[in-house]
Amino acid sequence: MSEQTPSEILARVEAEERDIVLPRFDLDDAWRLGSAMRSAALDRGLPIVIGISLGEARVFHVALPGSSADNDGWLERKSRVARRYGRSSYGVGLSFAAVGKDFDTSARLDTSLYAAHGGVFPITIAGVGVVGTVGVSGLPQADDHAFVVEHLRALQAELGGA
């Protein structure tokens, strides 16, 4: 399998952002999604933290063996990017890079509060828009992003989403 170019990666992430739209998302769905992510991460031995928010409320959070408080900090910084831009933290970082800019300098945001690195994805409800975020931290950014997308797609299929 050949390595994807940065523009191919950005196109794939933008398609994921367009395509992963849920018919609904409530506290029970947050628990189901977070629990499935935790179970998969434990099975794979992933040293991550997992967080789900609805609006500004944290509705699910877990730290797994091998993760640290640094991962919590990264998760929060990536979540702020996803909330601010209404798209994945990975997509935001890739978008800046695609036009030859660095998010940390070009966004003019406090880098102690914002990080455009992969791992947090907006929770989007059809006909409503972005209502929250789901994310992980602890792996390389592309892997963080892929893990979240994998589980959002599974929830989408379970809920009968697009």
Q: How far apart are CA 5 and CA 42, in angstroms?
A: 31
CATH class label, 6-156? alpha beta
14 Cα distance to chain centroid: 13
18 Cα distance to chain centroid: 14
Residue-level pLDDT, tens digit, the chain, 162 residues? 568 888 899 999 999 999 999 999 999 999 999 999 999 999 999 999 999 999 999 999 999 999 999 999 999 999 999 999 999 999 999 999 999 999 999 999 999 999 999 999 999 999 999 999 999 999 999 999 999 999 999 999 999 866
Q: Is the pTM of this model over 0.85?
A: yes
Token duo for residue 54:
């609805």
